[in-house]
Amino acid sequence: MDYVIDRRQLLRGAGAAGGGFALAAWLPAWAQSVSPGLTAPLPVVSGEDITLRIARQTMMIDGRPSRAIGINGTVPAPLIRLREGQNVRLHVVNDLDEDSSIHWHGLLVPPQFDGVPGVSFPGIRPRSTFLYEFPIRQSGTYWYHSHSGMQEQLGHYGPIVIDPAGVDPVRSDREHVIVLSDHSPMSPDAIFRAMKVNPGNFNFQRQTLAGLLSGRDQTLKDRMNWGRMRMDPADISDATGAAYTYLVNGHGPHDNWTALFTPGQRVRLRVINASSMTTFNVRIPGLRLTIVQADGQNVMPVEVDEFQIGVAETYDAIVTPADDRAYTLVGEAIDRSGMARATLAPRAGMAAEVPHLRKRPLTTMKDMGMDMAGMPGTAGMAVPGAGDMAPRGIDPTAEQNRSATLATGAAAGPGMSAGTGMDHAGMAGMKTGAGTPGDGMAGAAQMDMGSMKMRDFAAAPQVTKGPGVQTISPMPVDRTGEPGQGLEDVDHKVLVYRDLMALTPNPDVRAPSRSIDIHLTGNMERFMWSFDGVKMSDAMEPIAFIEGERVRVNLINDTMMGHPIHIHGHFFELVIGHGDHAPRKHTVIVAPGSKVTWDFTADAVGDWAFHCHLLYHMMAGMMRTVSVRTKEGTA
């Protein structure tokens, strides 16, 4: 295989010169332990005729070369900038030795241009060109990526920004695209295989005896209960910082990619999670983030301090840095095994304090779909007498990746977080109760074992019983009003889905004519993932819809992991109590053990992919075809 030199390396020099900072910038990247900052902007392509060339290359991450697949010589692929109402012809040249494809994530396109091999088209053969051609019917922040094999993991992803035909209701003086991603020196095949053959392979933040003896993480009683269930509460992410370096616009945390601003400017950040496996918690200490768009759809402004972004989601945030100082943008992996880091600064070459990685969360009984608060007779369960309320830290031997060395904050050591007590299993599940002593939870866990079965198929009759289904949530609850996993106890405002409200009324406000349940199922010990217990490879039977039909879809997560679920060709409206101002999304995280409901109008005739956007979950089978046919077509 031959690798092309990354074009960004050249751009880097230019960008550095343009940014006007010191001579250090002229040193080769490998000569710098920590870069003073890179202001290299993403290359942009636009117009009605665009050529995209997919090829293998190397990319430099924190001064180290890494294999990649890029487009037009860059990772991420160039920013495609379009205008609502235009037509676009995209000539995609596949210079790989294998099939490739591009899916335009979030764009409403005719089915033959949706870019999913085997569903919407045959794929792009090696050394051939495919012409995508479609009208641009929307505006907002989107992205594009390969839907072939695991090319996405290697860098085959890029941002799309579509400017509205009229005045943009979101006003800003300047904008930056922030593409978050995860990159590994391991091949995607090796990552997948490691997770398949060795559960927990990448988790170096598990509970240990050392942790137990030093009073960290779960108590012995809780550990026994979870052990009996064969559930690892530390299993937050499958692939972690042990495998990944987390990137901002293709740059590692030590590269310190820098976005410039002038103090007082209103800066629009278009944040895209183009990761294969990583949910990020995004924040900029010192700045409030006003969320104005989610998944390309404008929302009523919501001011937050932090938001969790699932794989394939996008959020646009406005920040107004008033001071002449640098700010750190932190994209912390959900399991806190590492972070993506960038800097917002008035000038290149600046850096702000980098906060410590907070301690990784533990899953709770609620994450198993056992909502104690919701259980009859236990809602007010007081658990008197149990005293242990002291917050317990994380395992003292837990490991994070190299990004942890960047931390300069004065906060407590990485083992202790600012938040308190979130290690108590069941903390989230006990919110209605006054106090939640850890011992009490252990008791509750025991009670669960007695009264609630973890794998009772009566609770999900449609799920095919088999080795691929480890658990069934006995009492899944709607958690769209809760902060994402691990953010329950932070001491600032975290975006929750229910904060999102569409800026304009929804286009289709009819009542759904029917509703369906889809169970998200899996087995962490075998790394099997599926819908309703059926893997994509098991059956081709699509989930069928009639054109124009409005249907309510209940996604029920029977696993202890969050899954970002994405439907192609459509937007859906989250059913979270906002009537005709429901936020419209293309991807939604279904929190562990929870239920998410959305309505959608099946208005795009064709076959569409529907899948978990965690790459290896999809590769393990968590995908299905959705078919939309005209009424006559199904007769």
Partner 1 sequence: MSRAAFTLALGIAVAAPVASQAQSMAGSMQGSMAGMDMNGMTMPHPAKKPTARRPVARKPVPHSAPKRRVVRSGPTSVGRAGPATAKGMDDMNDMPGMAMAPASVVPPSPAPAGPEPMPGMDMGAPGAAATPAMPGMDMSGHAKPMATMPGMAMTGTALAAGDAPAPPPPTDHYADRQFPASEMDRARHAMMHEQGGRSFAQVMFNLAEAQIRNGENGYRWDGEGWFGGDIDRLTIKSEGEGVFREGVEAAEVQALYSHAIGPYFNLQAGVRHDFRPSPTRTYATVGFEGLAPYWFEVAGALFLSDTGDVLGRLEGYYDQRITQRLILQPRIELNLSAQDVPAVRLGAGLTDAELGLRLRYEISRQFAPYLGMSYEAKTGRTADFARADGRKPSSTSLVAGVRFWF
Binding to partner 1 in span 528-557, by CB under 8 A: 528-530, 535-538, 540-546, 549, 551-552
Rounded to a whole number of angstroms, the minimum distance from the CB of residue 40 to partner 1 is 25
Rounded to a whole number of angstroms, the minimum distance from the CB of residue 251 to partner 1 is 26
Q: Which is nearer to partner 1, 323 or 541 (CB)?
A: 541
Q: Which is nearer to partner 1, 312 or 495 (CB)?
A: 495
Helix runs in 206-304, H state only: 209-213, 220-228
Q: What is the DSSP letter of 193?
A: H
Rounded to a whole number of angstroms, the minimum distance from the CB of residue 305 to partner 1 is 10
CA distance 391 to 361: 12
CA distance 198 to 516: 35
Rounded to a whole number of angstroms, the minimum distance from the CB of residue 605 to partner 1 is 7
Q: Which is nearer to partner 1, 6 or 306 (CB)?
A: 306
Q: Which is nearer to partner 1, 80 or 194 (CB)?
A: 194
Residues in the chain, overall count: 635
Rounded to a whole number of angstroms, the minimum distance from the CB of residue 29 to partner 1 is 27
Q: What is the dihedral of CA 27, 29, 35, 38, to 10 degrees?
A: 90
Rounded to a whole number of angstroms, the minimum distance from the CB of residue 246 to partner 1 is 20
Q: Which is nearer to partner 1, 95 or 508 (CB)?
A: 508
Site for partner 1 in 442-471 (CB under 8 A): 455, 466-470
Rounded to a whole number of angstroms, the minimum distance from the CB of residue 24 to partner 1 is 35
What one-character-per-residue DSSP string does 322-346 give? -SSS-EEEEEEETTSS-EEEEEEES
Tell me the one-letter amino acid at 314.
T
Under 8 Å between Cβ of 129 and 51: no
Rounded to a whole number of angstroms, the minimum distance from the CB of residue 486 to partner 1 is 18
Site for partner 1 in 222-251 (CB under 8 A): 224, 227-230
Q: Tell me whether residue 585 is exposed, middle or buried, using C-beta atoms within 10 angstroms of its C-beta: 0 to 12, 13 to 18, 19 or more.
A: buried
What one-character-per-residue DSSP string does 25-91 give? GGS-GGG-SS-S-B-PPPPEEESSEEEEEEEEEEEEETTEEEEEEEETTBSSPPEEEEETT-EEEEE
> Among 57, 139, 181, 205, which residue sits at the site for partner 1 (rule: CB under 8 A)?
205
Site for partner 1 in 576-615 (CB under 8 A): 576-582, 599, 605-607, 611
266 binds partner 1, rule: CB under 8 A: yes
Tell me the one-letter amino acid at 501.
M
Backbone angles phi, psi at 92, to 5 degrees: -105, 115
Rounded to a whole number of angstroms, the minimum distance from the CB of residue 633 to partner 1 is 7
Backbone angles phi, psi at 590, to 5 degrees: -100, 110
Q: Which two tokens stand for residue 545?
A: 């819809």
Q: Which is nearer to partner 1, 324 or 580 (CB)?
A: 580
Q: Which is nearer to partner 1, 28 or 189 (CB)?
A: 189
CA distance 370 to 455: 12
CA distances from 626 to 295, 397, 490, 587 (A): 20, 45, 38, 15
197 binds partner 1, rule: CB under 8 A: yes
Q: What is the DSSP letter of 353?
A: P
> Among 89, 127, 137, 171, which residue sits at the site for partner 1 (rule: CB under 8 A)?
171
Return the SS3 of 12.
Answer: helix
Q: Which is nearer to partner 1, 198 or 451 (CB)?
A: 198
Rounded to a whole number of angstroms, the minimum distance from the CB of residue 76 to partner 1 is 24
Site for partner 1 in 378-437 (CB under 8 A): 395, 397-399
Q: Which is nearer to partner 1, 16 or 590 (CB)?
A: 590
Q: Which is nearer to partner 1, 458 or 540 (CB)?
A: 540
Site for partner 1 in 78-97 (CB under 8 A): none
Under 8 Å between Cβ of 630 and 547: yes
CA distance 55 to 119: 23
Q: Is the four-CA dihedral 208, 209, 214, 216 of positive or negative sign?
A: positive
CA distance 101 to 237: 27
Q: Strand 514-523 vs strand 528-531: parallel, antiparallel, or unpaired?
A: antiparallel
Please report which helix (H) or strand (E) contains residue 11, including its range. helix 7-19
CA distance 164 to 82: 9
Site for partner 1 in 466-485 (CB under 8 A): 466-470, 481
Q: Which is nearer to partner 1, 95 or 175 (CB)?
A: 175
CA distance 129 to 232: 46
What order of strands is seen across the sheet that includes strand 79-83? 44-46, 79-83, 157-163, 140-145, 103-105
633 binds partner 1, rule: CB under 8 A: yes
374 binds partner 1, rule: CB under 8 A: no
Return the SS3 of 124.
Answer: strand
> Among 209, 389, 390, 412, which residue sits at the site for partner 1 (rule: CB under 8 A)?
209
Q: Is the four-CA dihedral 539, 541, 525, 402 of positive or negative sign?
A: positive
How many residues bind partner 1 (CB under 8 A)? The answer is: 125
Q: What is the DSSP letter of 430?
A: G
Q: Which is nearer to partner 1, 128 or 408 (CB)?
A: 128
Rounded to a whole number of angstroms, the minimum distance from the CB of residue 425 to partner 1 is 17
Site for partner 1 in 496-515 (CB under 8 A): 496, 498-499, 501-506, 508-515
Orientation angle between helical segments 438-451 and 220-228, nearest 10 degrees: 20
Q: Which is nearer to partner 1, 112 or 405 (CB)?
A: 112
Site for partner 1 in 283-342 (CB under 8 A): 290, 292, 298, 300-304, 318, 320
Site for partner 1 in 108-127 (CB under 8 A): 111-112, 116-123
518 binds partner 1, rule: CB under 8 A: no
Rounded to a whole number of angstroms, the minimum distance from the CB of residue 630 to partner 1 is 10
Q: Which is nearer to partner 1, 158 or 621 (CB)?
A: 621
Rounded to a whole number of angstroms, the minimum distance from the CB of residue 422 to partner 1 is 19
Q: Whose CA is closest to 436, among 420, 452, 450, 453?
A: 420
> Among 39, 201, 403, 594, which residue sits at the site for partner 1 (rule: CB under 8 A)?
201
CA distance 202 to 616: 14
User: Site mask, partner 1, residues 25-54, x = CB under 8 A?
Assistant: ------------------------------
> Among 149, 233, 252, 437, which residue sits at the site for partner 1 (rule: CB under 8 A)?
149
Q: Which is nearer to partner 1, 21 or 132 (CB)?
A: 132
Rounded to a whole number of angstroms, the minimum distance from the CB of residue 385 to partner 1 is 27
Q: Which is nearer to partner 1, 245 or 559 (CB)?
A: 559
